[in-house]
Chains A and B, each alone.
Chain A
Amino acid sequence: MRSVRALAATAALSLLAFSTIAFAGQPKQGGILRMYHRDSPGNASIHEGATYSLNVPFMPVFNNLVIYKQDEAQNRMDNIIPELAESWAWVNDNKTLTFKLRQGVKWHDGKPFTSADVKCTFDMLMGKAQQKFRQNPRKTWYEQVSDISTNGDFEVSFNLKRPQPSLLALLASGYTPVYPCHVSPGDMRTHPIGTGPFKFVEFKANESIKLTRNPDYWREGRPYLDGIEFTIIPNRSTAILAFVAGKFDMAFPTEVSIPLLKDVKSQAPNAVCEIAPTNVATNIIVNSTAAPFDNADIRRAMALALDRKAFISIMFEGQGDVGGTMLPPPNGLWGMPKEMLETIPGYGPDVKANRDAAKKLMEKAGYGPDKHLAVKVSTRNIPVYRDPAVILIDQLKSIYIDGELDVVETANWFPKVARKDYMIGLNLTGNAVDDPDQSFYENYSCGSERNYTNYCNKEIEKLFDEQSQETNVEKRKKLVWDIDKKLQEDVARPIIFHSRMGSCWQPYVKGVTIMTNSSYNGYRYEDLWLDK
């Protein structure tokens, strides 16, 4: 009898334990997610900005046609899923991308979503609509799109000038929401209307951003949260302390530096923290139109002098990646393999040998121990720019280059760069999508507005187009590696390192996925829930 009781008790306990586990894993409805925001975005219109300070709070307001799966860390072509589209198909020799649209979707103001909204959005992005964005930083993404056509209310086609498989990747980015036709770009800057899981409530500049659950969201049972509240705290110390004190459920994503992460873990041991690459590359822009960097030998010497591992160890305690233009593997999809990377001058592991070669090039150009080259290293007056610039100056000393730091206020940085009023500059380049089309055309294509150095190589340009049209991924990858290698050898914009940053949240916040090859695409937050 005793054994029967014991067995029953064991069974009951097991059942209880199992149900507790199951219960803990079951998403719960309700609760407001409290997060701090690192700064006050200029406005609320994702299409008019180029910072993830906009994507984090406003991506939950919108939907795209397609989106990267929000619960997978790596953005890949094979994890793009339909959102406002129900399906898509490439037709007409891969020159037309047709989407069947979801029916019954409503904008937050109650108006129905149709194909006209999609056409409006992309016509505006291409600069073809009557209404204009005040700023349109990603116009170049749609250069291969000749027009958008609709077939009824629920079918829309992107007609391309030539095949561009990566268009789908660009459309899946957090930077590509569909806007309503009936709301002006001006209103979208102050009171965005979307179809997304959360409705915009208010945005008080320098204070807070509030979103509330969209009860009419087309995806049944989502979102789990009742709302999201962002408190704007520009002071990083205050923000981290507030997170440690439990005032916030989540720290601003990819904003906790590696040294700060240690503080967080020591003061709040239960906090869940992850370190991930941000796909932001720290690089050098070189003014090759004026002396002394019009001399290719000096440019090459500078590239040879870089000790990339030293940068990473000083700034990120070893948590960073050495790579070319594209984010290196395993997190990056298109980065060169290590063996190939190390064949590029300056990337080899023997720093001393690299610098000896650099010294020879400097001596060839007429410089040496008794005759140093004086240069100004310009950069923005922001720590993430300034700190590596100081390290760069120190490293250049080893090859007879005496650098002087020239810090420039943000307002004057781009006018200065556009005027070519610099010798070398320390710059950061963020990639919203881990795809060569976004990176190559934006940063290295002849005439691109974001090609700050005006690097222009017609041969490479042809290769850009070749890889862009290639539908075989493996073939495209090889082409991309060759292009990336050539860009580094040309010292087009020497990449120093790819940074990694930390993200932290309280243990009861569930369903968080930090993306590992872009910090712009993972903030829909409809699957996020609070286990409280």
Chain B
Amino acid sequence: MFAYLVRRLFLMLVTLFGISVVIFFLLRIVPGNIVDILFAAAGYVDPADKANLEKELGIDQPLIVQYWHWISGFLRGDFGYSYVSEKPALQEILPRIPITARLAGLALLFSASIGIPLGVISAVKQGTRLDYALRVVSLSGLSLPSFWLGLLILTAAVAMFGQIPIFNPNPKTWLEAFATYAVPAAAVGFRSAALTMRITRSSMLEVLRQDYIRTARAKGASDAAVNYHHALKNAILPVITVIGIEAAFLIGGLIVTETVFNIPGVARFLVEAIRWRDYPIVQNLVMFIAVVVVFANFTVDMLYAVFDPRIRYTD
């Protein structure tokens, strides 16, 4: 188990280094930089002013020097300054992380708490009306883009209740605080719940056909014991994988959801930073997301080992 852990940790570090190189150089390949954008917004270009600004921001230096400044600063915990707001990058990023973390956490919770039970029910009740109904719901979850669903929820809320559940930085009641996150989490988690449900269903169906399930039933075990104790425990591995992957993909979904619900989280902030070519923000934020994703995968790998002893022994 220790060797497995060390190997995974080493792989994680190599991956993060590779990601840092890709992030840095991809950003530079994209045409235009912050100075171009600032002058585009001002509607004129003065070559002298432009050169001064490029020098001030350090983007006139060779790429390798710029990379070294960034990565060495990153390792020292110096994340530089936002080109746009001129505030420390960390000061800009940190307050937004809990907002996105809460939203992502709630969306994942929504996904797991709705997707897994419904997937089990759908598998156990295979071929019934309930199964068909649940499959239709899951298919619609996969088909509806989250931005569209988000806008639909907002429009319906305004039309039906005269209220709009967009982000409220100072909620007065518990209900307002809950609505601030719960509604967008549901919008983004719906797709994820649908996927989780389908994976749970197919995995459960496969397991329910196994001999040992038949044996358990022959031994007189109750339906609940068979379904949840024997079947689900073995069917859950692919579901964990999917939830892990979804955690990573969620950031993509959150960009749209944060925009529609006007949530000042990291995802929307990242898109704005890319638009402005605000390198210190984009680089550090993407690196942060990469760390989260790599850790999520690492955690999934560890969970695999916990749930399936064969992995510890053979890998």
Which residues in A have some Cβ–Cβ distance to B below 8 Å?
Answer: 40, 42-43, 48-51, 132, 134-137, 186, 189-190, 203-208, 231, 233-235, 237-238, 241-242, 244-247, 267, 409-415, 418, 449-450
Judge whether B42 is part of the interface by a CB distance below 8 angstroms.
yes
A414 touches B39 (CB 8 A): yes
User: A-B contact count, CB below 8 Å?
Assistant: 123
What are 8 residue pairs bridging A and B, where the CB atoms are less than 8 Å apart in the complex? A137-B44, A203-B85, A205-B272, A206-B269, A237-B151, A245-B164, A410-B275, A449-B44
Given contacts A409-B31, A411-B33, contact A207 B264 (CB under 8 A): yes
Given contacts A206-B272, A409-B32, contact A415 B45 (CB under 8 A): yes
Judge whether B176 is part of the interface by a CB distance below 8 angstroms.
no
A211: min CB distance to chain B, Å: 16
- A-contact bits for B152-177, CB 8 A (1 contact / 0 none): 00110111001110100100000000
Q: Give the size of the chain B interface in residues (CB under 8 angstroms).
A: 46
Chain A residues positioned under 8 Å from B36 (CB to CB): 411-412, 414-415
Query: Of the candidates B44, B56, B166, which one forms a contact with A247 in the assembled complex, judged by CB atoms under 8 Å apart?
Result: B166
Q: How far is the CA of A136 from the CA of B264 in the complex (A)?
A: 31
Judge whether B131 is part of the interface by a CB distance below 8 angstroms.
no
Candidate in A137, A205, A242, A410 with the most chain B CB atoms within 10 angstroms:
A205
A356: min CB distance to chain B, Å: 37
A415 touches B264 (CB 8 A): no
A241 touches B154 (CB 8 A): yes
B259 touches A235 (CB 8 A): yes
Given contacts A190-B85, A238-B260, contact A50 B42 (CB under 8 A): yes
Candidate in A186, A206, A412 with the most chain B CB atoms within 10 angstroms:
A206
Task: Report, nearest first, the 9 A-B pairs whose CB atoms are least far apart.
Answer: A411-B32, A449-B44, A245-B164, A137-B42, A207-B264, A50-B42, A245-B158, A414-B40, A411-B36
Chain A residues positioned under 8 Å from B277 (CB to CB): 411
Q: How far is the CA of A452 from the CA of B30 in the complex (A)?
A: 24
Chain A residues positioned under 8 Å from B159 (CB to CB): 267
Q: How far is the CA of A445 from the CA of B132 in the complex (A)?
A: 71
B34: min CB distance to chain A, Å: 9
Given contacts A231-B262, A415-B36, contact A450 B44 (CB under 8 A): yes
Chain B residues positioned under 8 Å from A413 (CB to CB): 40
B43 touches A50 (CB 8 A): yes
Q: How far is the CA of A384 from the CA of B197 in the complex (A)?
A: 42
Given contacts A414-B39, A415-B32, A449-B44, contact A238 B166 (CB under 8 A): yes
Given contacts A237-B151, A449-B46, contact A135 B85 (CB under 8 A): no
B86 touches A234 (CB 8 A): no
Beyond known contacts A205-B82, A235-B259: 16 more, CB 8 A cutoff: A48-B42, A49-B41, A134-B52, A137-B42, A205-B84, A206-B268, A233-B166, A235-B260, A237-B260, A238-B260, A246-B162, A247-B166, A411-B33, A414-B39, A414-B40, A415-B32
Chain B residues positioned under 8 Å from A234 (CB to CB): 259, 272
Query: Of the candidates B164, B166, B276, which one forms a contact with A42 in the assembled complex, judged by CB atoms under 8 Å apart?
Result: B276
Judge whether B60 is part of the interface by a CB distance below 8 angstroms.
no
B42 touches A49 (CB 8 A): yes
Q: How far is the CA of A205 from the CA of B95 in the complex (A)?
A: 12
Chain A residues positioned under 8 Å from B59 (CB to CB): none
Q: How far is the CA of A324 from the CA of B260 in the complex (A)?
A: 39
Q: How far is the CA of A186 from the CA of B36 in the complex (A)?
A: 19
A22: min CB distance to chain B, Å: 32
A205 touches B92 (CB 8 A): yes
B151 touches A411 (CB 8 A): no
A238 touches B264 (CB 8 A): no
With both beta carbons as reference points, the residue of chain A lying nearest to B263 in the complex is identified as: A207
Judge whether B292 is part of the interface by a CB distance below 8 angstroms.
no
Chain A residues positioned under 8 Å from B308 (CB to CB): none
B86 touches A189 (CB 8 A): yes
B155 touches A241 (CB 8 A): yes
A411 touches B264 (CB 8 A): no
Candidate in B38, B52, B261 with the most chain A CB atoms within 10 angstroms:
B38
Chain B residues positioned under 8 Å from A414 (CB to CB): 36, 39-40, 43-45
Q: How far is the CA of A413 from the CA of B33 in the complex (A)?
A: 12
With both beta carbons as reference points, the residue of chain B lying nearest to A239 in the complex is identified as: B262
Q: How far is the CA of A204 from the CA of B52 in the complex (A)?
A: 26
A411 touches B86 (CB 8 A): no
With both beta carbons as reference points, the residue of chain B lying nearest to A40 in the complex is identified as: B272
Given contacts A411-B36, A412-B36, contact A244 B42 (CB under 8 A): no
Chain B residues positioned under 8 Å from A242 (CB to CB): 164, 166, 262
Judge whether B37 is part of the interface by a CB distance below 8 angstroms.
yes
Q: How far is the CA of A414 from the CA of B41 in the complex (A)?
A: 9
Q: How far is the CA of A235 from the CA of B151 in the complex (A)?
A: 10
Given contacts A241-B164, A247-B164, contact A410 B37 (CB under 8 A): yes
Q: How far is the CA of A522 from the CA of B269 in the complex (A)?
A: 30
Chain B residues positioned under 8 Å from A49 (CB to CB): 41-42
Chain B residues positioned under 8 Å from A137 (CB to CB): 42-44
With both beta carbons as reference points, the residue of chain B lying nearest to A248 in the complex is identified as: B164
Judge whether B78 is part of the interface by a CB distance below 8 angstroms.
no
A42 touches B32 (CB 8 A): no
